[in-house]
Structure 1
């Protein structure tokens, strides 16, 4: 459903219900909603909304908060890592300083250039212990 409450804007509303009674799967729907919005904007000659750039800080999920409580941490590992990475980035005078101040697993593109990294607190793993909790640049 589209709701127009001012001349230059509409809001799209979707029902979160499945016909068979199962709960809807909504994980990862924001990028899909942005894709659908682009199609509507083009079809109806609407002014485009801002692009989805995936740079916003990701909130910790329930499991991460529960794990932090079990470990006696004041907040989830993701929040500790995000704050630590931001603090080091502010002080960094270059890539070398940044990478040496953090325990990182570097990610390189096909040409060998650094294009991201993963960080983890000691002993904190995601996906049942198979990989570190990640914060990509």
Structure 2
């Protein structure tokens, strides 16, 4: 039986560049970028994350993304590290996506689950996580 966790997620750092090293916002039109961000999770999950991602923009107003994030913190009173695989995109001022736990260690060894994240430019960013912890 899975347990649901939820809370807010904040972005502490964001770096994104095109393949040739230009800032993502210096290039208009279709492009591909790579980057990283540092996140802070609050709520049922108290943790920090380091994410690396790839993004593909068909235009300046939207994109698709995929990436991996190493999350270190405490969930359900247990401390450890786990890796999330993210798939998502950005459109109309909202970045949202899904993620899957692909590995876990420390007191969180055996953690499995899936979740969602929604980043809105004018609202607090939120996550949900449905998980099982052996």
TM-score w.r.t. length of structure 1: 0.24
TM-score w.r.t. length of structure 2: 0.24
Relative contact order higher in (CA < 8 Å, ≥ 6 apart) = 2
> Greater Rg, structure 1 or structure 2?
1
Greater fraction of residues in helix: 1
